[in-house]
Chain A
Amino acid sequence: MLNFKKHSRHPNSNSHQSHDGAFSHPAKSVSSDGIRLRNFSLLILAAGLLVSFFADVEVHASEPWLHLQLMLQGLFTPSVSNPQSLLLDLLYTVAVALIGVSVSVVAGFLLSLCYEHYLVRLCCAFFRAIHELFWALIFLQIFGLSVTTAILAIAIPYACTFARVFHDIYQQSQVKITQLSQIKRSKISYFLYVQLPQTLPKMQSYLRYRFECGIRTSAVLGFVGLPTIGFHLETAFKQADYSFAGALLIAFYLLIASIKYWLKLYLLPLYLSIAIYVLPSSDFVNDSENIYRFFSSDIWPRVVLGEGLSVLSIIYHYSQWFAALFMSQGVAGIFNTLMLSMMAIAATAVSCVVMISIIASIDQYWLMQKIANSLLLILRSTPEYILAFVLLLIIGPSMLPAVVALSMHNSALISFLLQRNLEEKYLRKATGFSDYLYKILPQIYPYFISLLMYRAEIILRESAILGVLGVMTLGFYIDSAFEDLRFDRAFALLFITAVLNILVDQFSRKMQLNFTQQGIRVRSRD
């Protein structure tokens, strides 16, 4: 049904350019780019709507507005009984993020050098597909509630992300030194002298962005009990101590907003040594026996652990066991995860269009623009997980809070990127709504769809993890398996989750490449 053209296209290709494109392939393209984009958007919306008829998106709470009112009251009357412990929370959150991201950037850099290798790519895709919280749940079983767990949970998926992004960045290096053909004989030298110097600024700017992500992740890790700010945030919300929750959130936003003032890469060694110094050293446990037991017996079902089983019968028993698990939990989990993702993507698309329309039409009003921008900043700084957690308390247990949380966070982020894109191109000169419809929207729409596809993978990853909060996605089954100490199940379900994520990633990457020249992998912030 959708037949996207294969030739590359500028992110901001407007209708004029697309006519050129159509002109060069008169036989192949029947409808214009605009029609294709419209069809694709309608398909996304239709899928989301259709799914919502079958999904549980009702409000289950008895008095959601009252609850919300109480929360907002708390948020605006923040109070802290123990400021020292709040500061310590923040310090731990930052320290864990700093160490985790630093470890991952070194590992990711090394991996990026051999990223061409099929196995490296596969492993990276697989490890990246497993959410940081899932990693935390895994390492909790080995290292307990310790700093090691938190650092590894950040370091492993981040290293794999760094590997891919750095590798993508190398490909973008402009100068290839064509007049010195023999130079490419030594790959290392070529990398050191040609690729690295050109791409280092981009890599640094991506690293800075990742530090911000790391702090958000580190905060969320508190929700599984690790000693970061999320731990007290969860408690405060659950105990309805909204003033304390408000104080914690405000402290968190201030921390995020202040990053650009204190996070200088040349100060990193200093920060790292402080981080290592402040973190409780007894927490760096290293229990090799635990690790061995976990990987040799804990994560395998009993049917394959019997003595004297041949390899074939192990494979046979495992696949039977796996098939049974897949049918009983996997299918439902995948189904719900995909439903949630589709609704979230559709909702993100709609709220993006609304948000960017509002932003474009309040261009002249300075104060309103400032307020809108700060709202966007707050929404995109709040991790989806925390948003969903709070909304779940207000709305009650259904898919609705998850959809709202995912679409709020992602549409705020996409709107921010679109807005920046408009500013870069000096396009924000709409004088009215019609003007906006005809002048601005067509220019940013391809870029918007491509961003949406880029976020699709992340939305899926988050959809799975929101199961930990009680939505019946894959994360729900994984979390239950961990709670029941059924690590064999958890392991198999994590595998399913990772494979699903890789498949969706492949798909969204393909869709994204249909709308931009080189995809949007690097969201550098400088």
Chain B
Amino acid sequence: MRHLFKLTDYSFSYPDQSVLAEVSLSIEQGEKVAIVGQSGAGKSTLLNVLYAQQPDQSAYCVQDRQLIFGLSCYNNIYLAKLAEHTALQNLLNLLKPNPRALQKITVIARQLAIEDKLHISVNKLSGGQQQRVAVARACYQQKPVFIGDEPVSNLDALKAQQVLEVILNSHQTSIIALHDRHLALQYFDRIVGLKAGKIAIDKPAAKLCIDDLDQLYL
């Protein structure tokens, strides 16, 4: 089987600080990988490196969401496919939503329970709602791989499960950084635990229990 992502002894550091140290990791098509670890363990950097390996295959949902506050939710999601339309189409879409795009986006928004918010300016939404708009933007790209940096961290337990299910069901391969160890064990095939820039755990979820993961946070 061909490796979708592969890192061998990869290290990354800022001038005064090491972020990733000798990381070796390969991810195959179809895997659902959770990346867990404390803040600052190197999760975001790892995701950046992985995304850079398959930028055309992957939809990347970054931690700071990168939502445009002057735009409605609909347009924030539509933004994912800006490059697929002409400038004129994009301009017209600002004036009146493109019906086909609207239809597709409505389906995604319904799954994420933000359908009623589509035409509201994104800065009027709560943090959790904004997070789901960012997820919707990534999903709307309709890429085979989803890379997410804490995409459900602002949601309550039930919503987090729903959103995670939507993400996992609509992507062949998912690599998601999470804090919630229970969600990681429950929804993912494989768990990669980072500690201080090194891979401390890399095992199938079935062979791990919550105590193993808690070790990462000590």
Known: A188-B87, A193-B75. A180 touches B80 (CB 8 A): yes
Q: Which residues of B contact A188 (CB under 8 A)?
A: 87, 90-91
Chain B minimum-CB-distance residue to A199 = B70
How many interface residues does chain B have, given as a range? 20 to 34
B79 at the interface (CB under 8 A from A): yes
A280 at the interface (CB under 8 A from B): no
Tell whether, in the assembled complex, residue B87 and residue A193 are in contact, meaning their CB atoms are under 8 Å apart: no
Chain A 170-212, CB-CB to B under 8 Å as 1, else 0, gives: 0000011111111101101110111011101100000000000
- Chain A contacts for B68, CB-based, 8 A: 175, 193-194, 197-198
In the docked arrangement, what's the CA distance between A178 and B55, Å? 11
Q: Which residues of A contact B218 (CB under 8 A)?
A: none
From the candidates B62, B70, B78, name the one contacting A178 in the complex (CB within 8 A): B62
Are B70 and A197 in contact, CB atoms less than 8 angstroms apart? yes
Mark each residue of chain B from 45 to 70: 1 if its CB lies under 8 Å from any CB of chain A, else 0. 00000010001000011100011111
Q: In whole angstroms, what is the CA distance A378 to B69 when docked?
A: 37
Q: Which A residues are CB-close (under 8 A) to B75?
A: 193, 197
A182 to B94 CA separation, bound complex (whole angstroms): 19
**Which size bracket describes the interface of A in this complex?**
20 to 34
Q: Answer whether A179 and B51 are a contact pair too, CB < 8 Å, given A193-B82, A198-B68.
A: yes
Query: CA–CA, A201 to B87, complex, Å?
Result: 23
A180, B61: Cα distance in complex, Å? 10
The 7 nearest A-B residue pairs measured at CB: A197-B70, A188-B87, A179-B60, A182-B83, A189-B90, A197-B71, A189-B82
> Contacts A188-B90, A192-B90, A197-B71; is A178 near B66 (CB within 8 Å)?
yes
Query: In the complex, A177 Cα to B83 Cα: how many Å?
Result: 13
Most buried by B among A179, A186, A189, A192: A179
Sample of 10 A–B contacts (CB below 8 Å): A175-B67, A177-B66, A183-B79, A188-B90, A189-B82, A189-B83, A189-B85, A192-B94, A193-B68, A193-B82
- Kindly report which residue of chain A lies nearest to residue B91, judged by CB atoms: A192
Residues of B within 8 A of A176 (CB): 66
**Which of A185, A189, A200 has most B Cβ within 10 Å?**
A189
Residues on B with beta carbons closer than 8 Å to the beta carbon of A190: 82
Nearest B residue (CB) for A197: B70
Chain B contacts for A192, CB-based, 8 A:
87, 90-91, 94
- B66→A179 contact, CB < 8 A: yes
Interface of A is mostly: helix
| Cα–Cα, bound, A189→B86 (Å) | 8
Fill in one digit per residue for B82-100: 1 if any A CB lies within 8 Å of its CB, else 0.
1101110011001000000
For the complex formed, measure the closest distance between the CB of A170 and the CB atoms of chain B, giving whole angstroms. 13
Residues from 45 to 74 in A contacting B, C-beta threshold 8 Å: none
Taking A179-B61, A186-B83 as contacts, is the C-beta distance between A198 and B66 under 8 angstroms?
A: no
Find residues 406-454 in chain A having any chain B CB closer than 8 Å to their own CB: none
Query: Which residues of the partner chain B approach A196 to less than 8 Å between Cβ atoms?
Result: 70
A166 to chain B, nearest CB (A): 15
* Contact yes or no, A193 B67, CB < 8 A: no
Asked whether A201 and B70 contact (CB < 8 A) given A179-B61, A188-B90, A192-B91, the answer is: yes
A177: chain B residues at CB < 8 Å are 66, 79
Interface centre among B62, B78, B87 (most CB of A within 10 A): B87
Contacting pair B82 A183 (CB below 8 A): yes
> In the complex, are the beta carbons of A197 and B66 less than 8 A apart?
no
Q: Give the shortest distance, in Å, between B91 (CB) and chain A (any CB).
A: 6
- Mark contacts of A337-370 with chain B using CB atoms, 8 A cut-off: 1 yes-contact digit, 0 otherwise: 0000000000000000000000000000000000
Segment 32-48 of B: residues with Cβ below 8 Å from A: none
Q: Considering the chains assembled together, what is the distance between the CA atoms of A201 and B121 in angstroms?
A: 14
Q: Among the listed B55, B71, B86, which residue makes an inter-chain contact with A193, where contact means beta carbons less than 8 Å apart?
A: B71
Give the CA-CA distance A176 to B66 in the complex, in Å.
7
Chain B residues contacting A198 (CB-CB under 8 Å) are: 68-70
With A197-B70, A200-B70 as contacts: A179 and B82 at CB distance below 8 Å: no
Give Cα A196–Cα B91 distance, bound, in whole angstroms.
12
Q: How far is the CA of A181 from the CA of B71 in the complex (A)?
A: 20
Q: CA A189 – CA B70 in complex, angstroms?
A: 15
* Complex Cα–Cα for A188 and B91 (A): 9
Q: Please, how many angstroms separate the alpha-carbon atoms of A190 and B80 in the complex?
A: 11
Q: Name B87's closest neighbour in chain A (CB-CB).
A: A188
Could you tell me the distance between the alpha carbons of A25 and B7 in the complex, rounded to whole angstroms? 36
Residues of B close to A185: CB separation below 8 A = 83
B68 CB to nearest A CB, Å: 5
| Residues on the A chain within 8 Å of B60, using CB | 179
Complex Cα gap A176–B79 (Å): 12
